[in-house]
Structure 1
Amino acid sequence: MSEISTLSAFQMILLFLILMGILHYIWLIYKDKYEIIKSDFSEGFTGASSDAEVSRTTWFENEELFDEFYGSVYDNLTQLSGRYPQELALILHQWKKTASTDEMDVLDVGCGTGIASVLLAKMGVHSIVGLDKSEAMLRRARNVVLPAMALSQEKKDSVTFLQGDMNQQATFTAGQFSNAVVLFFVIYYSIDKAGLFQNLFHWIRPGGSIAIEVVNKYKFDPMLEAASPFVGVSLQKYTKERITKSKVEFDRFSYEAEFDLQDPAAEFRETFRFADKSVRRQRHTLNMTDIKDIVHLAQTAGWKYEGNIDLVTAGFEYAYVLLFTHP
C-alpha cells in the first residue's frame, strides 16, 4: 500500500508541474514580449513604432518569400523532419498494397527544402522528383538536406530537384510518374486546385496513386512545433480559445507568427526581428477549400477517392492525407 501511495503522490506532483508549465506558456502567448514597440501597422501585423523601424521593414508575399533566408530557417521553424518519417511511412504502407517501392517513380509537389523527397529515397522508392517554384529552396535541398541524409550514392542519385510550376501541365509528360505527394500546406497555396488535379491526372500513370495532405481548418493546431514547450503535445486541448500565435527566440532573431482564418481564405503572417533592428514581415496567402470540396475537385478530374489517413498517429491532430487512385 505504501508503494501505491508514493507513486500516486509523484504522479500528482508531475501533473501539477506540467499544468504549471502549460499555464505559464499560455501566459507568454498573450503577454506582449515587445512592450517597447507600439504598433501602428495595419493588416494584422504587430510591430513598428517609428518611421525609422518602418524604413527598416521588408515585406514579402507568396511569390517572393521563399528566398535564401527563408530557406535557411524553414526547417527549424516547421520541424517537418520530425513528422514526415511517420507520415510518409503511413502513405507508403497504403501504396505498397499494389506496388513495391522499387517500382515507384514519385513526384513530390511543392517539395520546398526536399525533406520528404530525401526520406522517400531512404525508404526505398525507385526515383523521386522534387518540384518547387523557388530555386532558393531547391538549392537548400540539393546542397544541404540531401548531402546531410545518410544515403548511399545510388539512393542520392535517385533524387532530382526541379524548378517548375505545378499549375503548368507542360512541366511533365503524360504518365511520367507512378505516384505523387502534395504535403504540408502545398494544396492551399494553389489557386487552381481543379487544374492541379487535372495536371496530376495527366502526369500519373493509370493504376497510380496520389496523396494530398489537408487539415480541418477550424480545429488544427496552427502553432508551430518550434514554439511548443512540449514536443508532440497540442496546447489547444488545455485552452478555451484556439491559440493562433507562435513566438520563438532564435540566436539570430526573434520570431512571431499568427494564423488568421478568413474562411475560405487564410493568412499565415510571420515577423522576424533582428539584432540590428531590421524587421522582415511575410504573409502566406492560403486558399483553404473545404476538404469535401477538395475531394470533389479531384473526382471531377477523374481521380477515384480511396479514403484518408488520420495523421494523429504522426503527432498532427485534425490533419489527414487524402488517397486517390488513377483508374
Structure 2
Amino acid sequence: MFASILKPLKSVSIIYKKSSTWGKVLFFVILLLIAIAIFKTANIKHKEGFEQNEQFLYKTGPEVYDDFYSDIYDQLVFSTLKDDYEIGEIINKTKPTQESIILDIGSGTGHHVHSLNKKGYKAIGVDASFPMIKKAKENYPDYDFEHGDILNAMMFQPSSFTHILCLYFTLYYIKDKKQFFNNCMNWLMPGGSLVVHVVNRDQFDPILPPANPLLMLTPQRYAKERITKSNVTFEDFKYSANFDLDNTNNTAKFVEKFQNKETGKVFRKQEHQMYMESEADILDLAKDAGFIIFGKVDLIKVGYEYQYLYIFQKPA
C-alpha cells in the first residue's frame, strides 16, 4: 500500500527538481489551488451537515428556562431603571433594617438579590429553574440562590423572613395562588411584608423592552388595537413573541420563536403558560390568606403602565 503511494510522490519529486524556477513557482500555485478546493469542499459539506442536523426545539412550562434562554434572558427583559426603582420603593415603603431577612421568589438572574445585598440587607433568591439559578450564581457568586418549588410548604421554616418579594410576572406562572399566599403567610414573621408584581391584564403593555422603540412611552396609547407582538434582532438570530390572553379561562400564553438569520428557519419555539386572574381576584386571594393591603406602587414612572407592586402585610 505504502509503495503504491510513494511511487507517485517520487515521480513528482523528480519532476520538481528538474523544473525551472518558474516551473517550481507554478508547481506551488497548483498545490495551493488544490488545497483551497479541498478546503472549500470540506467546508460546504460541514455546513450542509450542520443545517441538516439542526434540531427544532419546542419547549413549554418550566423547561423553557434552560441554558440557552437563561443566557439571553436579561437582553429580553432586564431594565436597570425599573429594578432600581422597584428596590428603592420597596425600601421606602417597607423600611427593612440590617436585621431583615428577604426572600426573592423567582429570583431569575439575581439582580434584585444583588441590589438588596449591595445596600446592606440580607437577601436570598429561590427559583424553579436550575439554569437560572446557575446564571444567578455566575452573575453574583457571593450571594445565596436556592432551587426549589415555592408551592412546597416545607421549602422554608415558619417565620423565616421579614420580607418576601415576588416580582416581574412570577405570580402569573403560579397556578395555585391560594397555596402561594398561604405559604408566604407561614414563612413571614409577624408584621412582615409581601411585595407582589400585579398587572391590569387587559391594559398592560406586553411588548418587551428591546422591541419598544418609544422606550419610556407605551405604544399602546397610540394604537387602535392592543399590540401584543415583540420583534428583536440578535447577532445570530431573530426573535419574535406574542402575548395571547384568554380572559374566560384566566390564562394567557406567551409564545416565543427563534429564527436563524441566514436560513430563515425557526429553530426554537417555546410557550409560557400563564395563569392571569383579574387584579381584584388576586387581591381577594391575598386577603383570604390573612394579608392586609398595606400599599401600592405604580410602575408608570419607569414606563411600565398598568403594572404595580402591591405591598401586603402579615398582621403583627
TM-score under structure 1 length normalisation: 0.77
Contact in 1 for aligned 2:173/2:275 (Cα 8 Å): yes
1:142 aligns with 2:137: yes
Query: Partners of 1:271 and 1:308 in 2: how far apart?
Result: 35
Displacement, 1:120?
Answer: 1.4
Equivalent residue, structure 2, for 1:251 = 235
Q: Deviations over 1:35-60 (max 9, x none)?
A: xxxxxxxxxxxxxxxxx99x842110
Change (3 A) 1:118 1:161: same
Query: Partners of 1:81 and 1:65 in 2: how far apart?
Result: 24
Displacement, 1:287?
Answer: 0.5
What letter is aligned with 2:304?
F
Contact in 2 for aligned 1:167/1:199 (Cα 8 Å): yes
Query: Partners of 1:199 and 1:262 in 2: how far apart?
Result: 27
SS in 1 for 2:181: helix
Change (3 A) 1:270 1:132: same
Change (3 A) 1:299 1:168: same
| 76-85 or 63-72: bigger deviation | 76-85
What letter is aligned with 2:254?
F
Query: Partners of 2:276 and 2:174 in 1: how far apart?
Result: 9
Equivalent residue, structure 1, for 2:309 = 321
SS in 2 for 1:72: helix
1:191 aligns with 2:160: no
Equivalent residue, structure 2, for 1:13 = none
Query: Partners of 2:225 and 2:97 in 1: how far apart?
Result: 43
Q: Deviations over 1:57-114 (max 9, x none)?
A: 2110012010000000000000233311111211111011xxx431221000011111
Contact in 2 for aligned 1:79/1:226 (Cα 8 Å): no
Query: Partners of 1:124 and 1:213 in 2: how far apart?
Result: 23
Change (3 A) 1:192 1:129: same
Equivalent residue, structure 1, for 2:47 = none
Equivalent residue, structure 2, for 1:240 = 224
Change (3 A) 1:315 1:124: farther
SS in 2 for 1:75: helix
What letter is aligned with 1:65?
V
Displacement, 1:224?
Answer: 0.4
Q: Give the unaligned 5+ runs of structure 2.
A: 1-50
Contact in 2 for aligned 1:258/1:270 (Cα 8 Å): yes
Q: Deviations over 1:154-187 (max 9, x none)?
A: xx4xx31000011001000011111011001100
Displacement, 1:321?
Answer: 0.9
Equivalent residue, structure 1, for 2:111 = 115
Displacement, 1:239?
Answer: 1.1
Displacement, 1:309?
Answer: 1.1
Alignment counterpart, residue 257 of structure 2, candidates 271, 274, 297? 271
What letter is aligned with 2:234?
F
Query: Partners of 1:104 and 1:273 in 2: how far apart?
Result: 45
Equivalent residue, structure 2, for 1:72 = 71
What letter is aligned with 2:137?
R
Equivalent residue, structure 1, for 2:21 = none
Displacement, 1:228?
Answer: 1.2
Equivalences for residues 27-106 of structure 1 within 5 A = 56-96=55-95, 100-106=96-102
Which segments of structure 1 move beyond 4 Å, counting only runs of 4 or more? Answer: none
What letter is aligned with 2:69?
Y
Query: Partners of 1:231 and 1:194 in 2: how far apart?
Result: 35
Displacement, 1:278?
Answer: 5.2
What letter is aligned with 1:224?
L
Which one has the largest radius of gyration?
2
Percent pairwise identity? 37
Query: Partners of 1:190 and 1:231 in 2: how far apart?
Result: 29
Equivalent residue, structure 2, for 1:209 = 193
Contact in 2 for aligned 1:213/1:319 (Cα 8 Å): yes
Query: Partners of 1:182 and 1:77 in 2: how far apart?
Result: 19
1:164 aligns with 2:144: no
What letter is aligned with 2:171?
I
Equivalent residue, structure 1, for 2:300 = 312
Contact in 2 for aligned 1:75/1:81 (Cα 8 Å): no
SS in 1 for 2:98: helix
Change (3 A) 1:253 1:101: farther
Count residues with an aligned counterpart: 261
Displacement, 1:237?
Answer: 1.2
